[in-house]
């Protein structure tokens, strides 16, 4: 279907969107409207979700539309929020019954959104049932758990990254007391891990001393690629694939966020701003937009920065398209729902 001319201004307003949808009934108008609104705005509306009584260290949207948000932090509780209700009313979140003994650092939904995984400083991963809020299983580790990722093709398989320098692959059908598959074992901590959403045999990691790496589950103990060129030994704390599995976004200490094509160790873009700095705390990064055309990261100046990825590979360093909002504490976790431009 051809794009209609002359919709630019009207399609950034709700009234214009509703008018065009009523006239033309184009099923792609909703995506186009959200894309234009996100591209044209200089700030976004926000709603405070009040439920935790400690720092919130991890948040994740559910898959296929972002109906749910799960959060966890220093109060050791895992809270589940129904997004439509949370945005439009004062409905309290659901507290999952399994509590950690210390700070929660990471969370993940399975692909069917029936289970939630949580990991943290108490050296364990708890598997929660969404419908009943009950604890299904507990997977003991030897040190703090910093990262979690569920296989995109098998809800029984998940990966964990830990302070003990290991990346472990678990099968929830096996006994939690059994020995998991060890993909990587370094002297330094792994802060993040993620399955490639299209090629699930590939995983990306962020290590506190060894930087960002790409791994093949068929070839454990040796990374396929270490990103960064001559500067590959950088302290990295977060790594994310885009939805196509073709690019990696990484966050490094005291350096700006960086984008890589997965088959090249050299960066495609770096994203910086005069106010952006990443030194004090552990933070995360993520892609945003219906086409992964933006990236986001928190900063030591209490702000969340959003950059648009340039279409020109020669653009080099990028400046932010939006300085989103002022936070009351240092931002440690950020995530956007890919199917919703407003979350």
Confidence grade of residue 327 (pLDDT, cut at 50, 70, 90)? very low
Question: Which two tokens mark 29?
Answer: 């108008």
Query: pLDDT at position 279, please?
Result: 85
Mean of the per-residue pLDDT values of the chain: 85
Segment 234-254, tens digit of pLDDT: 899 999 999 999 999 999 998
In whole angstroms, give the CA distance from residue 255 to residue 240. 16
Report whether 87 contacts 67 (CB < 8 A): no
Segment 143-180, tens digit of pLDDT: 999 999 999 999 999 999 999 999 999 999 998 888 99
Report whether 103 contacts 72 (CB < 8 A): no
Report whether 299 contacts 253 (CB < 8 A): no
Nearest to residue 337, comparing CAs of 48, 62, 33? 62
Please report, rounded to a whole number, the percentage of residues in the chain having pLDDT higher than 90: 62
Task: Strand 135-140: give its sheet, edge to edge.
Answer: 104-109, 115-120, 124-129, 135-140
Query: pLDDT at position 274, please?
Result: 87
Q: Is the pLDDT of residue 260 over 70?
A: yes
Instruction: Name 296's Cβ contacts closer than 8 Å, sequence gap at least 6.
Output: 285, 286, 287, 288, 304, 305, 306, 307, 324, 334, 336
- Give pTM, 2 decimals: 0.83
């Amino acid at each position: 279907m051809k794009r209609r001319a002359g919709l630019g201004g009207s399609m950034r307003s709700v009234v214009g969107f509703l008018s065009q949808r009523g006239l033309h009934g184009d099923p792609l108008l909703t995506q186009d409207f959200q894309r234009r609104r996100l591209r044209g705005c200089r700030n976004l509306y926000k709603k405070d979700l009040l439920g935790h009584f400690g720092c919130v260290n991890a948040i994740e949207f559910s898959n296929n539309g972002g109906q749910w948000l799960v959060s966890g932090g220093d109060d050791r509780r895992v809270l589940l929020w129904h997004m439509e209700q949370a945005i439009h009313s004062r409905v309290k979140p659901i507290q999952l019954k399994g509590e950690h003994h210390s700070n929660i650092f990471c969370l993940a939904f399975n692909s069917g959104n029936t289970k939630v995984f949580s990991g943290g400083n108490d050296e364990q991963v708890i598997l929660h049932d969404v419908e009943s809020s009950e604890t299904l299983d507990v997977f003991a580790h030897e040190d703090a758990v910093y990262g979690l990722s569920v296989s995109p093709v098998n809800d029984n398989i998940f990966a964990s990254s830990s302070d003990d320098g290991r990346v472990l692959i678990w099968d929830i059908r096996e006994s939690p007391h059994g020995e998991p598959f060890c993909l990587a074992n370094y002297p330094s901590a792994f802060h993040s891990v993620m399955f490639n959403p299209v090629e699930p045999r590939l995983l990306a990691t962020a290590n506190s001393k060894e930087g960002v790496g790409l791994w093949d589950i068929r070839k454990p103990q040796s990374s396929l690629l270490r990103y960064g060129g001559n500067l590959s030994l950088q302290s990295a704390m977060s790594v994310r694939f885009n939805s196509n599995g073709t690019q990696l976004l990484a966050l490094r200490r005291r350096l700006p966020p960086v984008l890589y094509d997965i088959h090249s160790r050299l960066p495609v873009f770096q994203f910086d701003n005069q106010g952006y700095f990443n030194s004090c705390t552990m933070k995360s990064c993520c892609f945003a937009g219906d086409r992964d055309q933006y990236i986001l990261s928190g900063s030591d100046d209490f702000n969340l920065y959003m950059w648009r990825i340039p279409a020109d590979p020669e653009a080099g360093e990028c400046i932010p398209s939006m300085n989103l909002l002022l936070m009351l504490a240092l931002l440690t976790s950020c995530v956007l729902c890919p199917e919703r431009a407003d979350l």
